[in-house]
Amino acid sequence: MRNTIYRIIYAFVLFCVSFVLMEVFSKGSSTQTTTKMSGAVLPVVSMDTGSTVFNALYGMTGDQDPGKMRPVLTPIASDRTIRIRISRYDTELLSVSAEVRDVTGQRLIEKQDVEIQDAGEGTSTGVLSFTNLVQPDTEYMLVLLLSTEDAENIRYYTRFYYSADSGDQEEAEAAIAFAETFHEKTFDKTADDFLLTYLEPDDSVSGSSLSKVTLYSSADQVTWGDLSPSEVTKPVFSLTDYQSGIYGIRGTYYVASQTEEGKQKLYRCEEYYELRMGTDRFYLMDFERTVSEDFDPQNPEGEDGYLQLGIADKNTDVTQSKKRSVTAFVHDGRLYEVSLSEDLLVYIFGFDEAGDTGERETRADHGIRILDVMEDGSVDFLVYGYMNCGRHEGKMGVSFYHYSGEYHTLEEKVFVPYDGSWDLLNNLVGKLSYYDRDKGSLYLFLYDTLYEVNVNSCSIRKLESNLASRRFVISKSGEMIAMEEMTEGEPSGAILLVNLNGQVQSRLEAPSGKRAIPLGFLGEDLVYGTAASRDLITDASGITVEPMDHIYIVDPEQNVLEDYHQDGYYVLSCEVRESQLVLTRVQKAQDGEASYVPAPDDEILSGATEDKTALVRTKSSAASGMVVQIQTGESDWESCHYIRPQEILYEGSRELLPRGTAEEKDADSGIQSTHCYYVYSSKEFLGCEYDLTSAIETAGAERSGVVVNEQGRYLWRKRRPERSEIDALTSMEEGTALLDSREMCLKAILSAENISADVAGLLDQGKTSLEILQEELKDYEVLNLFGCSLDEVLYYVGMHQAVYAETDGGETILIIGYGPENIEIYDPAAGSVHLMDLETARENFAAAGNRFLSYIPAG
C-alpha cells in the first residue's frame, strides 16, 4: 500500500516537473511554425502599341466589383484592336480570355478567347479584336482573365475607348512618348532649354527638398540638383485619364546615387504629367515627381536621438509607446520598430526587402496603419489595400496583424476582403479603423456599415448599417462617432453619440421643436447644430433648406464648451478645419417670401489643441536638399541589432466576409442602399461625398475633375463641349402664371423623353417638381443640383439633358442650350425661347439660391 502511494506521488511530481520544463522551453522558443512570406506569382499584363509598352495591369484574385475600380484608360486602334504583353515571371499560362463590359461592369457586351504567342524573355503577346458592338467615343471596361498553374481566372482591369479617328490613338501614344522624353531629359543637366519650355519656375511655391518637385520647381531641382542619380529601372507609364484633349499620365521607377563615402542609395520615384495638346505641340499643365529614399534597416544612420530616413515625405506615420521606449513608424509601405531597451531595429512588415525593385513586390497600392504600440515591443497594426504577395496575393482587403515583441513573430489574426479599388478602401480605412485592445475589437467602416471585428475569436458583426441614409461624423482618431438617430426610417431629431473605446453609447436630444444635426469633431469634441421645424423650407421644386440657429461644441460627456448664436442669422453648413469652424450663413428674405438669402460667412476658433511633440523633423543636406528624421531616443546605430520576424503559419482560413459584398447581396438585398459620390481628377482620387453638390464642387476645382456614382457611371465632368443645344426643346408652349411655368417646364421635360403624365393633377396633389420627375422618369436618375453654379450644371445641357431652374423672380425656366457667351432658355412665362448672357444668368440664378434639377440615364 505504501509503495503504491509513493508511486503515485512520484508520478505526480514527474508530471509537474515535465509540465514546467515544457513551459520553460516553449517560452524560450515558440513551438508555433513560422515561415517567410511567399513571393509574388501572378503575371503582369501591359498594353503594347508596337513602339510603346504602357498601362501595366496587376492581377486580382478576389471577386471585385468593376464599377468600383476605375482603372487606367487604354485607347484602342481605329481597327478595334489592342495588343497585350504578358510578363509571365516563370509561371505557365494555361488560358487567356477577355470580356468587354459597360463601364459599370454590370452588362457583358462581348467575350473572346485570346490566342497567345511566346515572345521570349519570359513574355507572351496576344491581340484582342473587338466587334462593332464596341461603339466609338464610348468608355468600356475590359476584363482580361488569365489562368495559370498557380491560380484560375485572375482578373485584370482597364477602361478603354475606341475612336474611329486613327489620330486619337496616335495622339495618346504621342502623349506617352512626350512623358518618356521629358523623363529622360530630367537626367540631363544640359537640357535646361527643353525643360524651361514647359516648366514655370516660381521660388515662392517651390522648396529645396528633392522629395517633391513640381511644374513650379527650377530646372536644377527637376534635374536632381547635386544628387546625380542613375536609372535602375525605367518607368512603364500609365494613362490615368483622358478628357477633351487633356491626358493624365503616371509612372514609377527607381534611381540610385553614390554618397561621398562610396555607399549606394536607392530611391523610389513617381512622376505625374498632365498634358494638353495644342495646335503643334503638347503643353505641360501639371508635373509632379515624388522621391522616397529606400531605408536600409540593417545599416541605419542617425544623430541626436533621431533616426534618418533620408529623402522622404515628412508626413511619416510615427507612433510611440506610452513611456516612449518603443517607436514604430511606416515608411514606403513598410513597418519598422526601434526598441531602445532591447537595442533593436525590427523590420516588422513589408512585401519587399530593402533594395528590391521588382514591379510586383514594390507596388504601392497598400497602406499600413499602426493601432497600438506596447512597452514590450509588441505592435498591433493593419495592412490594407492590394496584397502584393503572400497567402492573399491579388486580393484587396484589410489584414489585422499582431507582432510579438517577446517572441519576435508576426501573426495575421483576421483578413477582411473588399471588392472595390485601393483608392476607395484607403478612403474608408482613413475614415474609421479603431482598435480597442482590451476587448480585442477592431471597428471598420465598409459598405456603408459600421462593423465590429473580434480579432481574438475571428468573428465579425454589424453594429450600424445604411449610415449614408442619415448624417454621421467620425472623429479623427476614430474613437467617437455621432449619427442621427433613426425611427422607422426617419430622423428622430436626436443624435446618437458612440464612444468605441468600450462601446459606450449616449443620446443627445435637441430642445422641443428642433432637431440636432451632427457636423463634425474637434478632437473628440462633437460639433452639432440645431434646426427648428418652423425655419425649415421645402420649395415647390422639392429642394429643402434646413437652417440651423445654434451651433454647439460638446465634450464626450456632453458638457457644452461653445454655444454659437446670432440673432437673425442661420447656418446652412459648417466646415471643420483643424481648430477652426467656418460657417456658411443665410438670413431670412425681407420681401415676405418664405426663403433665405446669403449672408457673410463666420468662424469659430476652438481652444482645442493637439500634441505637437516633434516626432518628425527635417534637416538640410548638401546633396539631398532636405532629409527627414524621426525621433526614437538616443541609440548607438552601429551596434543596433536587426530582426526580420517570420510569420506564424495557421491552418484553415481567417478570412471574414463583411455583409454587403457580392456573395451576400441576395441574402440581404437592401444592404447597399447608399448614395455615395466618388470624385476623381486625372491625377488622383479626391474623396467620397454624400452630397452631389459637394462632389461637383470638389471636382470643379480641378482641370479635369469627374464625379461617378457607386456603379462607376459618370454623373458629372469638368470638361464639356464648347456649345450645345437640345433640339427637342426649342419649340414649347406658352405659360401664363407661376404655376403654369412649373407645369410647362415639367411637361416639356417629360415630353422630350416621350412620357405622358397629368402634371397639373400631380401639382394639385401638392407634389414637388423633384417628386414628379422622380416618379415619372423611371429610366433616369433625377439629380438635385441645389447649390451648384450655373457653369457646373451646363454639363448636363452638354449631355443633351435639360436643366430645370428657378429665377430670382420666382419663375421656372429650362436651360436648353449654351455657347461661349450666352445660355438658351425656355421661358414659359415669357412665352418664348430666348438667349440670356452668361454673366446676367449667373447673377440671376445665384440670387435665387442656385436651385437646379436635371437627370441622366440610369442604365
- Residue range 569-611, pLDDT digits in tens: 999 999 988 788 999 999 988 765 667 888 999 999 876 555 5
User: Is 815 within 8 Å of 827 (Cβ atoms)?
Assistant: no
Beta bridge partners of 588: 596
Is it the case that residue 843 has pLDDT exceeding 60?
yes
* pLDDT, average across residues 748-761: 93
Task: Supply the pLDDT for residue 182.
Answer: 98
- Rounded average pLDDT over 261-266: 90
> What is the C-alpha to C-alpha distance for residues 311 and 255, in angstroms, rounded to an integer?
13
For residue 485, give the amino acid letter.
Answer: E
Longest Cα–Cα distance of the chain, Å, equals 119
Start-to-end Cα distance in the chain: 90
Which is higher by pLDDT, 63 or 686? 686
Q: Checking DSSP bridges between strand 34-35 and strand 116-120, what pairing results, if any?
A: unpaired
pLDDT, average across residues 481-501: 92
Express each pLDDT in 662-711 by its tens digit. Answer: 444 434 433 344 578 999 999 999 999 989 999 999 999 999 999 999 99
What residues are paired with 255 via a beta bridge? 231, 267
d(CA 684, CA 666): 33
Question: How far apart, in whole angstroms, are the C-alpha atoms of residue 16 and residue 21?
Answer: 9
Question: pTM for the whole thing?
Answer: 0.91
Q: Look at residue 31 in the predicted model and tell me its pLDDT.
A: 52
Q: Rounded to whole angstroms, how far apart are CA atoms 80 and 807?
A: 47
Domain 47-71+79-162 architecture: Sandwich (2.60)
Which stretches does DSSP call E strand in 67-129? 73-76, 81-87, 93-102, 108-113, 116-120, 123-129
The 10s digit of each residue's pLDDT in 644-673 is: 999 999 988 999 988 654 444 434 433 344
Exposure letters 728-767 (e unless 16+ CB within 10 A, then b): ebeebeebeeeebbbbbbbbbbbbbeeeeeebeebbeeeb
Percent of the chain residues topping a pLDDT of 70? 91
Indicate the class that CATH gives domain 169-233+247-293: alpha beta
* DSSP state at residue 527: E
For domain 724-857, the question of CATH label 3.90.1170.40 is answered with no
Residues 6 or more apart whose Cβ sits within 8 Å of residue 566? 602
Dist CA 347 CA 349 (whole Å): 6
Which of 647, 63, 664, 644 has its CA nearest to residue 413? Answer: 647
DSSP 568: T
The H-assigned helical ranges of 387-479 are: 422-431
- In whole angstroms, what is the distance from residue 480 CA to residue 301 CA? 39
